[in-house]
Every structure is written in C-alpha cells, then in structure tokens.
Amino acid sequence: MIIRKVEAKIINTPIHEKFKTSYGEFPNYQSHIFVRITDEDGYTGIGEASQLPFFTGETTTMMKSAIENVLGPKIIGKNIFSLEEIHNEMNMALDPATSAKSAIDMALWDIKGKRLSVPVYQLVGGKEKNISLAYVLGEGIPEEMSELAVQKVEEGFKTLKVKVGLNPDKDIESIKLIRKAIGENINIRIDANQGYTVKTAIQTIERMSEYSIEYVEQPVPGWNVDGLAEVRRQTKVPIMADESVHSIHNALQLIKQGAVDIFGIKLIKCAGITHAMKIINLAEAAGIDFVLISPWDTMLGTHAGGHLSMLSSGRYAHELVGPFYISGDPFKSSLNANGYQPAQQPGFGLPDCFDQIQEE
C-alpha cells in the first residue's frame, strides 16, 4: 500500500456552448489534468483537476509541474491510507496549490476504494441516493437565456442556475423572462460571482425575490465576509458562499459571522475530498447545507463530486454537470438530466484509461 509512482497528463476538451460570467467569456475549451497513482502492488487510482485559474491561481501547466517536480516526489513512499500525513507533507512542500493537491487526493481515494473493493461513497460514509442536477446558464441576452432555459427544462432539468452580476437591471430582466418561460415548478438559483457591491446586492436580490429564487451564490467579493453577512441580514433569500470558502478556516469564519446558509464546495478549492469532508462536517454541526460544484470536469471529476454528494441532505440539486458542456471526455459520459447515482464498482467505478489518454 506504499505509493511507488505518481504520473500526470494534460488534455483539453472542447466546450460546445458559449459561456459568460462576471469574470468574462470563457474560452471554447477546458483544460484538465489527470493524475495516476500506483502503489507497490500495482493498484492504481486516478484523479482530475480542471483549471479555473481565477479561482485557484493555477493553470494545468502549473499543476503538472507542481505534481511532477514537487508534490509527487514528496509523497513517494507514503502509505495510501495516510491522508493527513500526505497532505501535511504536500503543504510543507508547496502552498496553496489546491487544484494540484485535489487531483492527487482524488486519486488516493480511488485507489483506497479499489484496495478495499468498495465504492468511494461508502468510504466517506454516504448513503446511496439519486442526486438532482442543476444546469448552469451563462450570462447573456435575456431572451436567449430564457429560450435556453426552456430547452433545458424540456430535457429534464428541475433546477437552473443563472449567471448574473454584470448589470443589475439586465439580470432582473433575465430572471423575469426565465421564470415566465419555465413556470413556477422549476427551481432558479442565481450566481453573481462576486459581481455586486453590498448595496447593489441587497437591492437586486430584493427585486428578484418576487420570482422565487432558491438561493443567491456569492453576491459580493469573496474577501468581504462582513458584506456577505450584511446581505444575508437584509434579504430573505438564502445566501451561498463559494469564492468565500476555500478552507475549513474560511468556513468557520463564515459561520461565526452569520454570513451564509449554504456552502458551495469545489474540490479544486479545498485540495480534494479529504478537506471537503472537514468543511461538510463543520457545516452539519452549524446546520448549514452544501452543494457540490464540479466545474467543467470530465466524468472522473464528476464522479468524485458525485460520490461525496451522497453525504448531502438531498434538499438542493448539485452542479455536477461538466460532461453536458464538453466533448471528447476520455471517461465517456453516462449522465442525464434525471440525476446522478454513484457507480457501485470499487473506487469511483471508472476504468483506468490513463495510458490511452493522448496528452496535449
């Protein structure tokens, strides 16, 4: 059970839908890094991180260098089950590098499941269930957004997330048209990606609230925890933290300041499943729910978030929808709008196709 080899490869997958947020327009491809860990008995585990450099400061090229030259050599010789020791070693060698560490952590959970012949969701203590999925609509022309919303509802989605944050009046018009087009039985949540000031957030959320908003994600800058708490106090719509919560320390601060109702968890933000579980446990103690957000991942990263989502209450749809946006997924797509259920095979339940992946 000793780690003998750590490998990394980069691929790019085409994104077949234009996508814009308050950060700007996304490129027409997504870059992913895949990690394979091999132990002394020949067992392998695979992990993934999809780059979001404006979130974590890492590109896949940076991740690959970190994994091959710093993090990988640091964990050679460690026991695959010694996750706390492994994370401590990685943190001492390089910090934060959370995306690179997340890919390594994911591979370790996969190999643990294979060694024990159980799926990962059982390792983390989750109960198998069908998890609803939320489709994410990029910011755009209100009429076009409402047309796409109808299309996704017809495909079977019961929850839509709508990107806003660039223009409050236009944002309100978009939500108004979407709600009118899809009716009252579909959940709408909005994500401003830090785009509003505190004052604008309060005013805009109040105006949007008549359209039955499920929750508002990160309306103000991630650093402004006081502002996030003020928005929550002054509005009636639940507030999610995303850019504000990268670690258990961030989560504790948000809880103490009464700033949040829901945590948005991206594995690339918190260095993987191991630390995500700590945030989830803290959230449970505080009566706060969580939603897994798997941005632009292949089925590998989607399964990692999906297995962890088995710990959730099931109240909210999770955003494990990367395979709906990308082409050329080496792990193939088995998702549909009706929801996600974890594989029952050991680990994440995916074959090790690392050798067949053609690196960019």
The set of catalytic residues is: 163, 266
Main-chain phi, psi angles of 133, to 5 degrees: -115, 145
Torsion sign over Cα 307, 112, 331, 9 = positive
Local structure of residue 131 (DSSP, 8 states): B
Query: Which of 325, 263, 353 has its CA nearest to residue 9?
Result: 353
If phi > 0 it is left, if psi is from -120 to 50 it is alpha, else beta; for residue 69 that is alpha
C-alpha distances (whole Å) from 254 to each of 56, 60, 215, 296 are 19, 30, 17, 27
Calculated CA dihedral for residues 192, 197, 254, 294, nearest 10 degrees: 20
| CB contact at 8 A, 346 and 113 | yes
Cα 25 from Cα 223, distance rounded (Å): 23
Cα 35 from Cα 48, distance rounded (Å): 6
Cα 343 from Cα 223, distance rounded (Å): 37
